[in-house]
Structure 1
Amino acid sequence: MTTAVLREMRWWDIEPVLELEKDLFPEDAWSRGMFWSDLAHARGPEATRRYFVAEDEGADGSRRIIGYAGLATAGTESDSGSATGADVQTIAVAREHWGTGLGAVLLTELLRAATAFECAEVMLECRVDNVRAQKLYERFGFEPIGFRRGYYQPGNVDALVMRLRDPSAAVPSAPSAQGTESNG
């Protein structure tokens, strides 16, 4: 079991997140600028993004980022008539922590953020060959609604588009994991 501490991602986390990003997504890793741009919209009263990192403590007492996740809101009308929807921008967990539940912890935190933003729905894209991630999303109530052909490059891999209506219904009523230890 992984014991992780979740907290808001800050600018000083970009370099360690980039290392993990390049390891997990070598073909289509986000750039430093992409993370800077999203973090620029993650604070203050006009914030439209939320990003989190998960850290664990090494034997020497140092902290290491083992996962991260981000959400962006959009001001477009949703099918339910609410003013805001959200998109999961990214969820990543270090390989040695796959299968520990950390992905579910990060997704829960994103759905809490979507609920705080009063989003009526949450959308995401997932590689069609990433069955493990699809099963996670389905456990939270996401449903497949379409495909984006050739979305992931290189390799021309299709994306499965998934949607969750009413993210507040998919979130456990426990307090936010941000800043607390979570067994994932």
Structure 2
Amino acid sequence: MKDAAKRFWQISQRAYTFDSPWNEAQFASDLEQSHSFYFTEGSGIMAFLGFHQVCDEIEITNIASEEKGQGHGSKLMERLIEHAESQGIASIFLEVRASNQEARLFYEKFGFQVVGKRKNYYQHPSEDAVLMSLKVGNPNE
């Protein structure tokens, strides 16, 4: 797990504009949680998507790729949505920096919609988070 935590931190350090939102120890701690899961993409792990699954909800905690434009993010998101459908998940949600238009458009491509904001959620620099959600399951089933 220590190797995975280090690799996830390295990828996110390169992928995020303002450095990784988590340090290596936070990734290591997260990997030990029973409700925490990671999907990876590429040989030698080129991209990953971390999420927490509790009851009928999934929260995306991290998604990062060393190489933008290679389709890793889309493959990971498709895999997560397939997983959610197979598990009877009602919704997937996430937070994203308000200024991160590229990420917001990426999520919108998969059907995510803005459902709220968290004032001054991010630090270094301080910025609001946009909350986004994707309804997966049919509440009438």
- 2 CA distance for matches of 1:113 and 1:151? 28
- The structure carrying a bigger helix percent of its residues is 2
Unaligned regions of 5+ residues in structure 2, if any? none
**Which of the residues 123, 128, 143 maps onto 2:98?**
128
- 2 CA distance for matches of 1:98 and 1:90? 15
- 2 CA distance for matches of 1:29 and 1:145? 22
Does the aligned pair in 2 maintain the 1:27–1:154 contact within 8 Å? no
What is the number of residues matched between the two proteins?
137
Unaligned regions of 5+ residues in structure 1, if any? 1-9, 42-46, 57-63, 76-83, 169-184
CA pair 22-66 structure 1, distance change in 2 beyond 3 A = same
CA RMSD of aligned residues (A): 2.1
Equivalent residue of 2:42, what SS? strand
**Which of the residues 47, 64, 87 maps onto 2:59?**
87
Does the aligned pair in 2 maintain the 1:70–1:110 contact within 8 Å? no
Does the aligned pair in 2 maintain the 1:148–1:159 contact within 8 Å? yes
1:13 aligns to 2:30 (yes or no): no
Aligned pairs (5 A) from 1:13-162:
13-25=4-16, 26-41=18-33, 47-56=34-43, 64-75=44-55, 84-94=56-66, 97-162=67-132
Does the aligned pair in 2 maintain the 1:70–1:91 contact within 8 Å? yes
Instruction: State the Cα distance separating 1:120 from its structure 2 match.
Output: 0.3
- 2 CA distance for matches of 1:65 and 1:50? 15
The CA deviation string for residues 53-98 of structure 1, in whole angstroms up to 9 with x for no partner, is 2223xxxxxxx321111111233xxxxxxxx21101111011xx21
Instruction: State the Cα distance separating 1:11 from its structure 2 match.
Output: 4.6
- 2 CA distance for matches of 1:52 and 1:117? 15
- 2 CA distance for matches of 1:152 and 1:17? 20
Structure with higher Rg: it is 1
Does the aligned pair in 1 maintain the 2:5–2:25 contact within 8 Å? no
TM-score (norm 2): 0.84
1:166 aligns to 2:136 (yes or no): yes
AA aligned to 1:99 is G
Does the aligned pair in 2 maintain the 1:149–1:158 contact within 8 Å? yes
